Structure 1
Amino acid sequence: MVGASTAFVALAALFWGLSGGIGGILMADGWDAFVVSFYRGTIGLLCVLVWLMLRPHGNGLANRRLWFWSVIAGVGVAGNFSFYFLSIAHGSVAVAATLMYCAPVFVYLVSFALKLERPTPLKWAAIAVVMLGIMLLTQIYDVGANGVTAMGVGAGLLAGLSYAIFIFGFKYAAAHGSPQAILSIAFAILATILIWPSDADQTVLVLSTPDWPLFAVLGVLGAGLSFVLYIVGLEHTAPAVASIVAMVEPVTATLFGVVVLSENLVGPQILGMGLIVVTVTALSVYTNSGRPPSG
């Protein structure tokens, strides 16, 4: 069962990595980043509603605190999806995915500020290495180089920050109800938020476009099935192992960008990406080692 659970986590990370590439293809065809994000979340909502109907017991939907923290999680996932695709639209899949992978660093910084986590020299050193990696990856010392733009970098970092907000919201909501109930509320909030900035004409046009299958795959793999697999997988996977397996996401997104979308990465960017992925993974393993599974 443990092996299968780890495979579920790996599949979820793989699907998240592929979702960045699929979103990149759709936006290259002229689709608005908010429209892509809206349909990713809305189709994901339909998937988790099915999960909720199949497992309705102990959902906690009568609990006000569940709703409060689930709404926070919804704001976070709405920001994560939209900023991620904006970063891809103004940069590349590889850079956007790696910047979003920095989310644990934002979790630490917020935890330090709220005094939920005790800062240590090792944690500050890891954060400093990640910052160095971001500088190399984004070539921030030469904005505009190799297709990297200020908008792409800023949106990528905001995607990571938004994901950190989702993590906090989901964590505190989990004490009051089931994951499927939390995700149902969160994705409903996402759809409510993202319908406003989405291009109205494109939002309707999606329903009859030949690109509809790509939208469907993006929603099922990138928001519905992936979240279900990840949460079920965590029930029997140690957080430290899950942190390592999660490396599949940025690696998959990067390979998709390079192989399918013909994106290019220069030497310093590859070095920066390596520093970020290895350091964030090591930091997550160090923090979670010895702790029980979070499921």
Structure 2
Amino acid sequence: MISSDKTTALGPVLVAFAAFCWGLSGGIAGFLMAQGWDALVVSFYRGAIGLVFVLVWLLLRSHASGLGGQRLWFWSVIAGLGVAGNFSFYFLSISEGSVAVAATLMYCAPIFVLLVSFTLKLERPTPFKWVAITLVMLGVVLLTEVYKLGSGSVTPLAVGAGLLSGLSYALFIFGFKFAAPHGSPQAILAIAFTVFVLLFVALGGQGQALAVLSAPNWPLFVLLGVLGAGLSFILYIVGLKSTPPALAAMVAMVEPVTASLFGVVILSENLVAVQLLGMALILVTVTALSVYSRT
């Protein structure tokens, strides 16, 4: 039996490794899309393989799943819509821009959560939070170079998709948060990933998805799914149980950093000094805000 001290110590390691896997998945997706694969098909394999993993997890831990509850299903479906938007818009942003920019824009999700919380009066605005929001907005301007009026290195579609991926992730966070009291994490994720797969089928993307099975780079799709959703989500949920929220917020920065390094080193992406300043401003501010909000 593992002692509680060892479990607590292992928690942040699991969270960090999950974030590292998510960062790698962004880089792998960028490589696949550079080979000509559609962003939606790439995101489908991430979600479909993730679904296989969480279904096995659900079968192994089927007690107290809450699958008979209507509230669990409602909020899990909301979380599924968030997953679908997050995966799809994130990879679209990568295909239209770069891994580093897309990952950093997605990391703005806590800002969207904060703004929605203000609107719904779930959280009280403070001067610190408004300063944080302002700094992140400034970081987005510097990172995307929107002040260059169309002559910047990042396209409007890449910026819009990146911000929508963050907004979708915020929707997933809300869905998961409100579903959690009514069932197990594996049940919530199983429903959420199923919603994503069904949406893909409804959009009629099966043709290219089937073509992946006979393509020479199909192992990369499998690796993407395992790292990007299958293994990582399970490790994150398990690790989060014994990781202080403030520490988890700081460790989560491993994802955009890993994705950015993959883009620069493997995909030969380049960022100018102003963009690096914007990236640093976003990452540091969002991490500080998360730590402040959870302590």
Deviation (angstroms), 1:199: 3.9
- Describe the superposition over 1:216-250 as per-residue Cα deviations: whole angstroms up to 9, x where unpaired: 01101101110000000010000000000001000
Hey, what's the Cα distance between the residues in 2 that align with 1:210 and 1:146?
36
- Superposition map of 1:207-246 within 5 A: 207-246=213-252
Calculate the TM-score normalised by the size of structure 2.
0.96
Query: Which residue of 1 is the match for residue 196 of structure 2?
Result: 190
- Superposition map of 1:242-261 within 5 A: 242-261=248-267
Note if 1:12 corresponds to 2:18. yes
Aligned identity (percent) is 69
Match of 1:148 among 147, 154, 166: 154
User: How well do the aligned residues superpose, as a CA RMSD in angstroms?
Assistant: 1.0
- Superposition map of 1:68-147 within 5 A: 68-142=74-148, 144-145=150-151, 147=153
Hey, what's the Cα distance between the residues in 2 that align with 1:42 and 1:119?
39
Deviation (angstroms), 1:195: 2.6
Letter in 2 for 1:36: V
Hey, what's the Cα distance between the residues in 2 that align with 1:263 and 1:239?
33
Query: Which residue of 1 is the match for residue 60 of structure 2?
Result: 54
Hey, what's the Cα distance between the residues in 2 that align with 1:203 and 1:179?
28
Query: Which residue of 1 is the match for residue 3 of structure 2?
Result: none
Hey, what's the Cα distance between the residues in 2 that align with 1:15 and 1:188?
21
Note if 1:24 corresponds to 2:36. no
Maintained 8 Å contact 2:144/2:152: no
Note if 1:181 corresponds to 2:169. no
Note if 1:160 corresponds to 2:160. no
Letter in 1 for 2:157: M
SS in 2 for 1:88: helix
Q: Structure 1 stretches of 5 or more lacking a match? A: 290-295
Deviation (angstroms), 1:144: 4.8
Query: Which residue of 2 is the match for residue 36 of structure 1?
Result: 42
Calculate the TM-score normalised by the size of structure 1.
0.96
Hey, what's the Cα distance between the residues in 1 that align with 2:194 and 2:53?
12
Q: Structure 2 stretches of 5 or more lacking a match? A: 1-6
Hey, what's the Cα distance between the residues in 2 that align with 1:119 and 1:139?
29
Deviation (angstroms), 1:2: 1.4
How many residues align? The count is: 289
Deviation (angstroms), 1:210: 1.2
Pair 224,145 (structure 1): closer, same or farther in 2 beyond 3 Å: farther
Deviation (angstroms), 1:194: 2.0
Deviation (angstroms), 1:202: 1.1
Runs of 4+ in structure 1 deviating by more than 3 angstroms, as ranges, are 143-147, 196-200
Hey, what's the Cα distance between the residues in 1 that align with 2:225 and 2:147?
36
Deviation (angstroms), 1:146: 5.5
